[in-house]
Structure 1
Amino acid sequence: MNIRTAFITGILLISMLSASAQSFTVATFNIRYDNPRDSGNLWVNRAPVVSNLIRFHDFDVFGVQEALKNQLDDISSNLPEYARYGAGRDDGKEAGEHSSIYYKKDMFRVLKSGDFWLSQTPDKPGKGWDATCCNRICSWVYLENIKTRKKFYLFNVHFDHQGVVARKESGNLMIQKIKEIAGNQPVLLTGDLNGTRESEWYLSIANSGILKDSYSGVKYPYENNSSSNGFRTPRGMGVIDHIFMSKHFSSSKWGILTDTYFGKFPSDHFPVITKVEL
């Protein structure tokens, strides 16, 4: 092999290894539902800020919680570079809040997708266990990276905010459904668990042997306050918005994005992001 051939071969090998090790940014973002009683924090004013935040921080794939159909449409209109998947929790179509997943169209394509409910009857809309307020849904996609051809599942969910039993059982159900749907394939899980790292339902996922918190693998997490704010200065350090990953992934960055505008917050939760490599 002459020097020129060896050089070209080396360049090709480096390019192939770089492509196969491509990293991407994952986020979870509870955007707060479009509540007309949120005086001073109405969605009509927050919508462009939410979209600008997503674009500037360059999310590659992300899950949203509490999103109503009109909010999803606004984000899609403002960010046409993303496609989305997710059904409404009230009818499995468009009604009620969504736990939808957005992904860059030039980076990923969907191979499979689906939804299930956090209840004893996950195949149909309904409340589970001691939940008194709302149906809770998990949406998922099986994505292929267009460049590297690597595939992974992403699940996005919002746990109940009142029922303690519902949250405990939802943690168990998530592991059960991930095993059933994804098998041994790479998996990411984003969501608002309405529980900190000390909660039983968080621990049932983090210690499952199937998933671990992407936060745990990062040397210098960007964690200056809690992940929720209630549209006011946050108090405490409780994180209830999480990104989990299977053993196929490693994480190099993790952070809570505390962007504001004129002293206001884009949502009553901050987005949480992580940079992962498959």
Structure 2
Amino acid sequence: MTLLSATRCFLAIMLCLGVLPALADDSARIRLATFNIRCPMDKPPNDWPSRAPRVKALITRHQFDIVGLQEATHKQLQFLLSDPDWASIGVGRADGKRGGEYSCILFRPARFELLASDTFWLSETPEVAGSQSWESANRRICTWGRFRDKISGKEFVLFNTHLDHRSKKARLNGVKLILHRMDGIANGAPILFTGDFNTLPNSKTILAVREKLHNSKALSEIAHLGPVGTLNGFVYDRDQPPKREIDFIFVSKGVQVHSHRTIDDTDDGLCPSDHFPVLCEITLP
């Protein structure tokens, strides 16, 4: 067996085991994820104290570099930030401080330098904390951060959101607002867009995003791994995997996507969240 074929066999085995290793010969690759970690409102064994170690273990096991979180509350975020390897940006959607859910960005400060960040509300008054419009069932926000990768020296802007679960009008208008603001914020830097979009791939909302950005799943050099669906409802049967795909990672032109995966890890059949995270490995242009 040649060295090349042996390497390919090794990678294939690692992929089948659910691990996407960062290749040593390309340290500039970024492991970017989106993860709805579910707010703390469930009974055991899916209450937050039970799930918290599972969430942290998954993030560590799959070596996330940067991740857009949804439904994170201040208490949950403080638990994740007890690990000094992580920092975050974002505010609670209820008051622009600590109230309500965050659509925050968790990142490794050893890898990324934060250059700028902000949060705006998906409403007709985006700068008014706690505002909502378009028949939205809840307040919705978008948090963004401009980062410099300390390995490659390249800058990029990551936008993260959680669209409304009831109002189609709120989802579409909310995403249009984010897309409208992107270019001015990015100012030519590559754009990454993560989130729980609460809608399917063929919806008007996702089609609107695809007019500007690319679905990382479609660009992946390696065929998508894991189930198609991302919403598991804390129940997972590998023989009947979930079908509702509502969590996405989008990227701007020129971003190279090496792999794309829906992570279906469980701990003795218990899911870390009612959503599976999505992970892709990218290289900035």
Deviation sequence 1:171-226 (CA, Å, 0-9, x none): 21111011221132211011000011111101100122xx1111111141114241
| Contact kept? 2:45, 2:51, Cα under 8 Å | no
Question: Which residue number in structure 2 is paired with residue 168 of structure 1?
Answer: 172
Show structure 2 runs of 5+ residues with no match: 1-24
Question: Which residue number in structure 1 is paired with residue 48 of structure 2?
Answer: 43
Q: Separation in 1 of the partners of 2:190 and 2:277? A: 23
Give 1:248 deviation, angstroms: 3.1
Q: How does 1:1-278 map to 2 (within 5 A)?
A: 22-35=28-41, 37-77=42-82, 79-125=83-129, 126-132=131-137, 134-208=138-212, 211-218=213-220, 219-233=222-236, 236-278=242-284
Letter in 2 for 1:84: S
Q: Separation in 1 of the partners of 2:171 and 2:132? A: 12
Identity of aligned residues (%): 36
TM-score by length of 1: 0.88
Question: Which residue number in structure 2 is paired with residue 15 of structure 1?
Answer: none
Larger Rg: 1
Letter in 2 for 1:149: G
Indicate the SS of the match to 2:151: coil
Give 1:147 deviation, angstroms: 2.4
Question: Which residue number in structure 1 is paired with residue 7 of structure 2?
Answer: none
Indicate the SS of the match to 2:81: helix
Q: Separation in 2 of the partners of 1:85 and 1:228? A: 25
Indicate the SS of the match to 1:130: coil
Residue correspondences, number: 255
TM-score by length of 2: 0.86
Q: Separation in 1 of the partners of 2:195 and 2:227? A: 20
Letter in 2 for 1:61: I
**Runs of 4+ deviating beyond 2 Å:** 37-40, 233-238
Deviation sequence 1:230-270 (CA, Å, 0-9, x none): 11136542310000111131101001000001211000000
Question: Pairwise CA RMSD of aligned residues?
Answer: 1.4
